[in-house]
Structure 1
Amino acid sequence: MADFGAPRELSELQKKRTEYLPQLPPCLQGNTVRVEFGDSTTTSDTASAHAISRAFPHTFGQPLAHFLRSTTLAPEAQTIHQHSPIRVGVVFSGRQSPGGHNVIWGLHDALKKHNPGSVLLGFLGGSEGMFAKKTLEITDEVLASYKNQGGYDLIGRSVDQIRTTEQVNATIATCNDLKLDGLVIIGGATSNSDAAQLAETFAERNCTTKVVGVPVTFYGDLKNQFVETNVGFDTVCKVNSQQISNICTDALSAGKYYYFVRLMGRQASNVALECALQSHPNMLILGEEVALSKLTLFDITKQICDAVQARASVDKYHGVILIPEGLVESIPEMYALLQEIHELYRSGIPADKISSNLSPWATALFEFLPPFIKKELLLSPESDNSAQLSQIETEKLLAHLVEEEMEKRTKEGTYKGKKFNAVCHFFGYQARGSLPSKFDCDYAYVLGHICRHILAAGLNGYMATVTNLKNSVNHWKCGAAPFTAMLSVRKYTRGPGGIPVGKPAIHPAAVDLRGKSYELWREKAAALLLEDMYRNPGPLQFEGPGSDLPTISLSVEDQDYMGRIKKLQQYLEQVRSIVKPGCSQDILKAALSCMASVTEVLSVMAAPSFKGHAPR
């Protein structure tokens, strides 16, 4: 068993990082924090709001919570009083993400600040340790060598699931036996979907433990109107971008290699897009683009070959191409093949017999593929029935197909340039254990503090949120949003893994092909294809220039949803204060006319049939 919580052997840089005290926004400073509740929430998935409300009768429709400093003028805000000590459990549920330790640190500091008698228990070995009641009390001494450090080795992790009846019952038993007032679940979209159901079940069974979620995933796909970005995404993108930039420089220096780089990103290509914006490779192939355009393996191969040929026409025989690991599931025929393979697995067909049991069309595709890909496609599915995407070397498959096509064009005389040479890389594990960036250190620590305030306010079924993140910490706005406001129901699914169709869940947010980040890439894409405009952001900075820069995607998106909600409430209050009994007929008529028009427009937009209603 791992030696959880044991003091780490630290380098000089690591020691220096443990001395850094993350910043807190003004609303969390001082000994008094106030909470202001907004209106009750609904869900952006208007077509499924009724189904979600029926599935979550105890937690649906809860209000937003905004945490305010004690001096803020807000007549309806309540001061959070917590005089008695509380007991809180915390668990890592999901793949390790830089900054995760700081959530625990922030939660610990907030608990002890408001009552030194409060207890924080870390579940050892993730959710499996939680089911088995294996705990470690988190203290200053235990935290000493884990502050601002990467990894999840303080308490460890295991399977990313708290979903089955047995798992839920075991969790309730643990919370009851340990007399927990709160359970904090640190993870991504799937883990927080489980947390939403857990909170509902706790409420239904009158379990007094309150469930709180924290958005921590380097995939950056737990994004919605309440969550702007995730802990770990900033670090992973910056570390990967430097590696990619080094490769770009190498490609330019050698002048004879095409580098195919596969990046983490299962159902969403957020990491690949951000790294492309930071490093400026020659090509970026997004799974979302491929899925939307229904591009085949042949189409993608042709795109790359045409780019190679175009660059050769200007005497360039090198380049860098980025792809997400989930690309293979975005290609229609590859996705269908994987589905068929997994169906055969579920029916009990052994791996060595699957290829002989495929349908004729699947057999034809399977036989077309190179041997190494055949072997990887036949790997047994993950626990959620998804493909082992990290093991499927899509970058090597594309490099292989491009090489074959370029040789074919050479023989046909349509390509007269130098021989195509490919070098492949998979950046899957190099960054997720990195020292967290300054942004992730601050963000995670703040989220930990917010968790304490959510629990002290007696809230169940909420996720800790911070908005206005593209600005300095002094301008961050802290709050909490109900899980149920983030739920939606998928009528279809692109990949075989994840949440079943028809079940309310917090679904991973794919790259928004109408968003500003993607638009920024498209503006550069044509020039980058032929020109070598490589950009090197350099290694992760903890002090000085560049240390406070957020990701480009966070900087360009205008995401202050919570701020806009508050602004709308202010406008409505102004209307109420102006349009009172006794106001003039003209004011009343103007108000009625405007409100009727606004109501009509919003009613149309809120209708399930409105095509633009999907959350961005």
Structure 2
Amino acid sequence: MEHSSRIDIKTLLNHAKTASVIADINREAIERRAFAPKKCQVFSEGFTVLEDQPQYRFSQDREAEKVLADIIDNHVQKIVPGTPEHSTEQERYFKRRNIGIVFSGGPAPGGHNVISGIFDAAKKANPASRVYGFILGPAGILERSYVEITESLVDAYRNMGGFNMIKTGRTKIDLKKKMDLSRATCKALELDALVIVGGDDSNTNAAFLAQELKVDGIQVIGVPKTIDGDIRVSTEDGDVLCSTSFGFHTAARAFAQNISNLCTDASSDIKYWHVCKVMGRVASHLALETALQTHANLTLIGEDLADYVDQERLKAAQERGEIDYTAYGMTLRHLSRLICETIVKRAASGKNYGVMIIPEGVLEFINEIQIFIIKLSTIIAEFNNVHDLDFHASFPNLDARLDYLRRLSRGISDRAASPIWNLRDDELFNDLPAFFQEGLLVERDTHGNFQFSQVKTEKILMDMAMDYLEILREKGIYKVGINRRSYESLMAMDGLDAEGFGRAIFKNYDQDGYLLVKETIISLKTLTQTVMNAGLIDDEKDLPGSVVDLFKKSVPKFSIQTHFYGYDGRGSDPTKFDCNYTYNLGLTAFSLIANGATGQMAVIKNLEHKFCKWEPLGIPISSLMHLEERKGKLALVIEKSIVDVESNAFRVVKALREKWLAAEPGDDCYRRPGPVRFTGSSEEDRPITLMLNSIH
């Protein structure tokens, strides 16, 4: 196009087609907003009531009985249809009320539908009811920063990802002053109820608020949220009342689509190992689900590593008449060896590429690293408590922190503190790379937890693996297999004796599969000598170029690309499963409020089954709490649920490891999960882990 004929920028920007194609809200978003999630049958009735379910039993913590005395006797409550006999409950259900909602912790897809469910149910019960959203998480409660949620605001965010409507934050309401401020805010807004949408720590907070505000007649309800999927509730008798938190399915699917694309890339370009770290600070649920979604060649599951026993070391010790206690549990060194074993196996079949999945918190299941984390967390907590200072502010760089540890190991610092760091710890810690030392000494989060997302786990493991692969390459063990047909074709083109050269060069020439160069052939010099000894050439100048090329193809070049999947998944638009799940969680939360419940967590039972079997419940949060060390002190918290290595889902992954490794000639077994959608008959209706675990 001639320069003089260009449309001017003002006209271009004002053109109807430009406005249509670059609009903030596209057709997909409009369709998402209009999507109507399904409702459990009970929510289509006139009103609901609560039915106690005393058959569901929990072992209660004694400390919880003391500090949560007003809500400790709560039962599991099932939401059932109201009848004409429930006239008192009916009157209470339809009364006008004010409800506050707050997001707490990291975002998870589906949060907006929790608000939508509460809003729709509250307005349907009584159009005069009002719903308020606190801005930027619990800090909004303390600072009295809120917005009234209206129909237009809700409609703008239905089925959309993120927590954009009211934002989120990580402030804890853990002190009396904060409790008093929360009470003042709730009273100022004349709130009848407060709904806290969050993870294990946030729901713990909900229990303490429920206890504190019960005397004021203000109800508090929790809603389970975390993409990590580590809020799973089972009774003492093994009944599963909540099989996963909302956002887990969406995040896993978002990760899986990206990892699936890398599987396609790896098997197309055949030169990279893609190393994918996925979120999951403590539990490996996301890694397990993405493995099932993608069939990646190698997936590490932290909970599996924790039970590892090195049988070879154990046997060697027994032969010496000893017990090698270090054979129990995985070490960093051995884990890197297992990774190398996988890489070498695939390379032998001509596949010097692949995809591996590493859970973010895998290091917590490595013996020596777990010990370091526990010791360093205790040291940091003790320093903060003894000196009333912040450890990381007092020692702002790595050198200062290492110097403090060094002095601590020699007993010349903080004599009053427990002698937890000794000279042996100092010696082992100094052997770690500086970036890893920095990672282990990183500032703990607001709950006192170690921040695995700040540690380059994949770099630690792959650096160790690459060092060992170099040793295996020098020993002639790490080789790339040569396709037999390609070899024979190349030899025929050059008029060479394929069988003669094959028997001289390859260690498995008489076997099927890819050809492997003998371990003794590690250079062109050793190759030449081998061929000369076989009488195939007279001197090194006669070494055929095709043979040289074949040898070079057998020498592996190990290249990796690292990826971290976390924030992208938690910011994804929700799947149809999460759209339906979260909307019904909102309806459940309102039913609990409308029937006078407090200190309960809104859940949906039977998520692992078809939608028609979903069962809305309220679970007593106090029954889920136990004492756990946080910031060097024992505190009541909700226990995180980790991967059960006896579950169907894990057993399936374990049984298919060799198949998905695909360390043999032929295609890989990669699976294409497809993009996240919210409509369509091909969209899966629940996580694969849940479907597998529902099989009995």
TM-score range, shorter chain: 0.7 to 0.9
2:671 to 529, 532, 535: 535
Secondary structure of the 2:336 match is: helix
User: In structure 2, which of residues 332, 349, 357 is the aligned counterpart of residue 297 of structure 1?
Assistant: 332
> How many Å apart are 1:433 and its aligned residue?
0.8
1:480 aligns with 2:625: no
1:516 pairs with 2:525: no
The answer to whether the 8 Å contact 1:403/1:421 transfers is no
- Checking the alignment, whether the CA contact within 8 Å between 2:662 and 2:669 is kept in structure 1 is no
- CA distances 1:511-570 after superposition (whole Å, capped 9, x unpaired): 01111111111111122223521111111122223324211111122399xxxxxxxxxx
Structure 1 residue 80: deviation in Å?
A: 6.9
Counterpart in 2 of 1:334? 369
CA distance in 1, matches of 2:602, 2:476: 61
Q: Is the 8 A contact 2:77 2:617 kept in 1?
A: yes
- After superposition, give the CA deviation of every residue in 1:341-389 in whole Å (9 maximum; x if it has no partner): 4455442451331123244434444443334333333332222222232
Match of 1:283 among 298, 323, 332: 298
Long gaps (5+) in structure 1? 1-7, 561-616
Distance 2:87 2:636 in 1: 33
Indicate whether 1:67 and 2:79 are aligned: yes
Task: Report the CA distance between 1:36 and its aligned residue.
Answer: 1.9
Contact 1:248-1:281 within 8 A present in 2 as well: yes
Letter of the structure 1 residue corresponding to residue 331 of structure 2: T
The alpha-carbon distance between structure 1 residues 387 and 50, as it changes in their structure 2 partners (threshold 3 A), is closer
Following superposition, the deviation at residue 339 of structure 1 comes to 3.8
Q: Give the distance between the partners of 1:37 and 1:281, measured in 2 at CA.
A: 45
Change (3 A) 1:70 1:458: closer
Which has the larger Rg? 2
Instruction: Check the 8 A contact 1:489/1:501 in 2, yes or no.
Output: no
Contact 1:41 1:61 in 2 (8 A): no
Match of 1:255 among 265, 270, 277: 270
Counterpart in the other structure of 2:69: 57
SS of the counterpart of 2:45?
coil
- Quote the residue 2:447 is aligned against: 384
The one-letter amino acid of 2:149's match is I
The aligned counterpart of 1:506 is 638
Partner of 2:350: 315
Question: In structure 1, what is the equivalent of residue 402 of structure 2?
Answer: 355
Alpha-carbon distance between aligned partners in 2 of 1:265 and 1:412, rounded to the nearest angstrom: 37
* Structure 2 CA distance for aligned equivalents of residues 434 and 403 of structure 1: 34
The answer to whether the 8 Å contact 1:273/1:286 transfers is yes
The 8 Å contact of residues 100 and 133 in structure 2, kept in 1 or not, is answered as yes
- Answer yes or no: is the 8 Å Cα contact 1:310–1:530 preserved in 2: no
* Counterpart residue type for residue 473 of structure 2: T
1:552 alignment partner AA: I
Partners of 1:42 and 1:49 within 8 A in 2: no
Identify which of 98, 101, 125 aligns with 2:136. Answer: 125
Q: Which moved more, 1:325-334 or 1:402-411?
A: 325-334
C-alpha separation in 1, matches of 2:367 and 2:37: 45
Asked whether 1:34 is paired with 2:49, we answer yes
The offset of 1:320, in angstroms, is: 1.2
Residue 558, structure 1, aligned to residue 690, structure 2: no
Return the alpha-carbon distance in structure 1 between the equivalents of residues 98 and 359 of structure 2: 41
Deviation at 1:79, TM superposition (A): 5.1
Cα gap change, 1:336 to 1:557, in 2 (>3 Å):
same
8 A contact 2:50–2:592 mirrored in 1: no
Cα distance, 1:184 vs structure 2: 0.2
Contact 2:283/2:642 (<8 A) preserved: yes
Counterparts of 1:423 and 1:59, CA distance in 2: 51
Deviation at 1:310, TM superposition (A): 1.7
Alpha-carbon contact 1:235-1:431 (below 8 Å) kept: yes
Query: What are the superposed Cα offsets for residues 311-344 of structure 1, whole Å, 9 maximum, x if unpaired?
Result: 2222221121111111122222123333444455
Scaled by the length of structure 2, what TM-score is found?
A: 0.74
The 5-angstrom pairing of residues 409-428 of structure 1 reads 409-417=472-480, 418-428=556-566
CA displacement at 1:237 relative to structure 2: 0.7
Describe the superposition over 1:35-60 as per-residue Cα deviations: whole angstroms up to 9, x where unpaired: 322228642xx3x5444323322111
Determine the C-alpha separation between the residues in 1 that align with 2:372 and 2:50. 52
Report the 3-state secondary structure (helix = DSSP H, G, I; strand = E; otherwise coil) of the residue aligned with 1:133: coil
* Equivalent residues, number: 541
Residues 364 and 221 (structure 1 numbering): CA distance in 2 closer, same or farther, change over 3 Å? Answer: same
- Mapped pair 1:216 → 2:251: no
Is 1:549 matched with 2:685?
Answer: yes
Judge conservation of contact 2:138–2:172 (CA < 8 Å) in 1: yes
Q: Where does structure 2 lack aligned partners over 5 or more consecutive residues?
A: 1-22, 235-240, 309-328, 384-390, 410-422, 481-555
Aligned partner of 1:179 among 168, 179, 190: 190
Contact 1:265 1:326 in 2 (8 A): yes
Distance 1:255 1:40 in 2: 56
Rate the CA distance shift 1:35–1:87 in 2: closer, same or farther, 3 A: same
Displacement of 1:414 in angstroms is 3.3
CA RMSD of aligned residues (A): 2.5
Q: Secondary structure at the match of 2:571?
A: coil
Q: State which drifts further: 61-70 or 395-404.
A: 61-70
CA contact (8 A) 2:272 2:561 kept: yes
1:415 to partner: Cα distance: 2.7
Q: How does 1:96-245 map to 2 (within 5 A)?
A: 96-203=107-214, 206-225=215-234, 226-245=241-260
Moved more, 385-394 or 457-466: 385-394
The Cα shift of 1:403 comes to 0.7
8 Å Cα contact 2:101-2:134 kept in structure 1:
yes
| Equivalence for 2:539 | none
Deviation at 1:463, TM superposition (A): 0.8
8 A Cα contact 2:251 2:572, kept in partner: yes
Identity score, percent: 31
Pair 313,80 (structure 1): closer, same or farther in 2 beyond 3 Å: farther
Pairing of 1:443-458 with structure 2 (within 5 A)? 443-458=581-596
Q: Distance in 2 between matches of 1:392 and 1:80?
A: 55
Deviation at 1:485, TM superposition (A): 2.6
Q: TM-score, normalised by structure 1?
A: 0.83
Query: What is the CA–CA distance in structure 2 between the aligned matches of 1:379 and 1:485, rounded to whole Å?
Result: 33
In structure 2, how many angstroms separate the alpha carbons of the residues matched to 1:120 and 1:244?
40
